[in-house]
Structure 1
Amino acid sequence: MANRAREEFTGRIKALFSSGEYSDLTITCGPDTYTVHKAIVCSQSSFFRKAENFSVGKEATEGGIHLPEDDPHAVKLLLQFFYEGEYNPLLPSPDRTDLDEAGKPKLTVLRKPGYHYDFPHTCKPHCPEPAYMVCPHHHCTPKRCGEKCINFICKDCTNAVPPDGDADQLLIHAMMYELADKYDVAGLRHLAEEKFYRSCAAFWNTEQFAIAAEHALVSTPESDTGLRQVLCQTITTHIKLLNVPSIVTLLHKHPDLMYSVLRRQAEELGGLEPMVKTAS
């Protein structure tokens, strides 16, 4: 009964977006115009909240916000997220057979000594030893993950459910991550990162991977480790990508990513100790 009521409520919210009923704000991007609701949009984004509060001139009179610099399809998905908490292509429903009796993801690899394999993993302050030794594919250190890992699950260790759709979604998720940062939509940021992670694991051996990687690197600052961490992990896991011309070009163009790949290889294969964040 509770699930049915929740589904009906979600359906009504989605219907408000499609119908525009009771709308009090207009958002335009390219040829598209959306009649939306301030209570839904502005409550999830500080950008839209400020834009609505401080609009002047024609925008203030018409109750509208214009987004001339953004991709229209990406904006459509952004608004879908505001009303549904998701965007296309959707994440697959969790397969309960991939969970153990405690409800945690099952390991599909043999345990190696020195790692705790505690998934989902969330960083502890300063990533103390041995907490940072998550698995052979991922170490939590202030330098590597920025202490930002939340509910991290390693695809190589747990065989996470692959995403629906094809490799074209790689660029979509990178674009959605960019919009999440630009418009300060925290929930979308985490969702786009998760989808990008799953998509990289599934479509790393496609030409779309390098295209999406380039977009992720040029649309975020070097200090933003979200998608960079995923790219580094993907290339390190599938090291034969270093023979792909587009990836070679990518690494030469972005030496920070090249260094991250080299560093991770040295840590995992050469026994190099992870860098420890020092007090300034």
Structure 2
Amino acid sequence: MTKPSSLQRLLSNISELRKEGKFTDLSFTHERGTFRVHRIIVCPQSKVFRKACDGGFKEQSEGLIKLGHVPYEHLARMVEFFYHMDYSEKLPEGTQESTLGLHAQMFALADQYEIPALLSMSEAKYSERCVKAWEPLDFLSSVSAIWESTPTAVQGLRNTACVAVRRHLPDMLEDSSTAERFKNTLSECSAFARDLLDSYIKNPLFGYCQMCRSDHGMEPLPAR
């Protein structure tokens, strides 16, 4: 078992203080509940919340930041990440959201509130699941979350999703129901179709690199 780092131990100790309601000086308010947090933990990790802590955020009022527009479960995971540098992938019973959809939504949340570490982690979790626990229908259900919840300039997760399609496309097309769902997704999300086509144009050949353990565009070497 990996020994916790000094930072992880510190965050864990402060998380216990938060559970006890000690020294919390900032609140995220939601119609389903309020999350009491510590500015010293939250604000350094997010450019947006740092601005709030400096008094320059219009939604802040006496240490309160209204986040009712954020799904409650996603807000809870964001707070969890601030204190543990990770978030739970467990989905509540009866939810229609897939695990890949969850990571896509956390990526969008991280982009909205400018949380670089959460942005990187959610993208890594998404990519890892595409490799280790590929479920084509779950993937296709996450497409709209990626292309509708993040701006065009944020390409990280879009590129990851396009690579996942190219890796699994032959198998997806072999199953008639998956192939039909894939075609419908292309029709419903034209931006996804365009980015996928661009991926093929820019990198006609893709291969897996044994050194960095990821997929990359390949260039044919001249040979006789």
User: Please, which moves more after superposition, 24-33 or 6-15?
Assistant: 6-15
Q: Structure 1 residue 228: deviation in Å?
A: 1.1
Partner residue of 1:244?
A: 179
The verdict on how the C-alpha distance between 1:56 and 1:198 changes in structure 2, with shifts beyond 3 A counting, is: closer
Greater fraction helix:
2
The verdict on how the C-alpha distance between 1:251 and 1:55 changes in structure 2, with shifts beyond 3 A counting, is: closer
Q: Kindly indicate whether the alpha-carbon contact (under 8 Å) linking 1:193 and 1:226 is maintained by their aligned counterparts in 2.
A: yes
The verdict on how the C-alpha distance between 1:236 and 1:42 changes in structure 2, with shifts beyond 3 A counting, is: same
Partner residue of 1:256?
A: 194
Q: Kindly indicate whether the alpha-carbon contact (under 8 Å) linking 1:178 and 1:219 is maintained by their aligned counterparts in 2.
A: yes
Q: Structure 1 residue 249: deviation in Å?
A: 1.9
Q: Structure 1 residue 260: deviation in Å?
A: 3.1
Rounded Cα–Cα distance in structure 2 between residues aligned with 1:195 and 1:174: 9
Q: Structure 1 residue 5: deviation in Å?
A: 7.8
Partner residue of 1:140?
A: none
The partner residue of 1:218 within 135, 148, 155 is: 148
Structure 1 vs Structure 2 CA RMSD: 2.8
Q: Structure 1 residue 30: deviation in Å?
A: 3.1
The verdict on how the C-alpha distance between 1:263 and 1:17 changes in structure 2, with shifts beyond 3 A counting, is: farther
Partner residue of 1:209?
A: 139
Deviations 1:194-244 (A, max 9, x none): 000011223433422111122111111233221111111111111232462
Q: Kindly indicate whether the alpha-carbon contact (under 8 Å) linking 2:110 and 2:118 is maintained by their aligned counterparts in 1.
A: yes
Partner residue of 1:51?
A: 52
Q: Structure 2: state its 5+ residue gaps.
A: 91-96, 208-216
Q: Kindly indicate whether the alpha-carbon contact (under 8 Å) linking 1:235 and 1:261 is maintained by their aligned counterparts in 2.
A: no
Q: Secondary structure at the match of 2:152?
A: coil
- 2:115 maps to 1:177: no
Partner residue of 2:126?
A: 196
Deviations 1:142-180 (A, max 9, x none): xxxxxxxxxxxxxxxxxxxxxxxxx93211110110011
Q: Structure 1 residue 33: deviation in Å?
A: 0.3
Q: Kindly indicate whether the alpha-carbon contact (under 8 Å) linking 2:12 and 2:83 is maintained by their aligned counterparts in 1.
A: no
Q: Secondary structure at the match of 1:35?
A: strand
Q: Secondary structure at the match of 1:26?
A: strand
Rounded Cα–Cα distance in structure 2 between residues aligned with 1:177 and 1:9: 25
TM-score of the aligned structures, taking structure 2 as reference length = 0.75
Q: Kindly indicate whether the alpha-carbon contact (under 8 Å) linking 1:28 and 1:34 is maintained by their aligned counterparts in 2.
A: yes
The verdict on how the C-alpha distance between 1:55 and 1:214 changes in structure 2, with shifts beyond 3 A counting, is: closer
Rounded Cα–Cα distance in structure 1 between residues aligned with 2:123 and 2:47: 20
Partner residue of 2:74?
A: 74
User: Please, which moves more after superposition, 39-48 or 188-197?
Assistant: 39-48
Q: Kindly indicate whether the alpha-carbon contact (under 8 Å) linking 2:98 and 2:141 is maintained by their aligned counterparts in 1.
A: no
Rounded Cα–Cα distance in structure 2 between residues aligned with 1:268 and 1:39: 44
The verdict on how the C-alpha distance between 1:86 and 1:251 changes in structure 2, with shifts beyond 3 A counting, is: same
Q: Kindly indicate whether the alpha-carbon contact (under 8 Å) linking 1:170 and 1:212 is maintained by their aligned counterparts in 2.
A: yes
The verdict on how the C-alpha distance between 1:170 and 1:4 changes in structure 2, with shifts beyond 3 A counting, is: closer
Q: Percent identical across equivalent pairs?
A: 27
Q: Kindly indicate whether the alpha-carbon contact (under 8 Å) linking 1:81 and 1:188 is maintained by their aligned counterparts in 2.
A: yes
The verdict on how the C-alpha distance between 1:25 and 1:8 changes in structure 2, with shifts beyond 3 A counting, is: same
The verdict on how the C-alpha distance between 1:199 and 1:35 changes in structure 2, with shifts beyond 3 A counting, is: same
Q: Kindly indicate whether the alpha-carbon contact (under 8 Å) linking 2:29 and 2:35 is maintained by their aligned counterparts in 1.
A: yes
Rounded Cα–Cα distance in structure 2 between residues aligned with 1:228 and 1:69: 24
Rounded Cα–Cα distance in structure 2 between residues aligned with 1:228 and 1:189: 13
Greater fraction strand:
2
Partner residue of 2:165?
A: 235
Rounded Cα–Cα distance in structure 2 between residues aligned with 1:219 and 1:256: 17
Structure 2 counterpart of 1:246, one-letter code: R
Rounded Cα–Cα distance in structure 1 between residues aligned with 2:41 and 2:218: 48
Q: Structure 1 residue 55: deviation in Å?
A: 4.9
The verdict on how the C-alpha distance between 1:209 and 1:198 changes in structure 2, with shifts beyond 3 A counting, is: same
The verdict on how the C-alpha distance between 1:5 and 1:208 changes in structure 2, with shifts beyond 3 A counting, is: closer
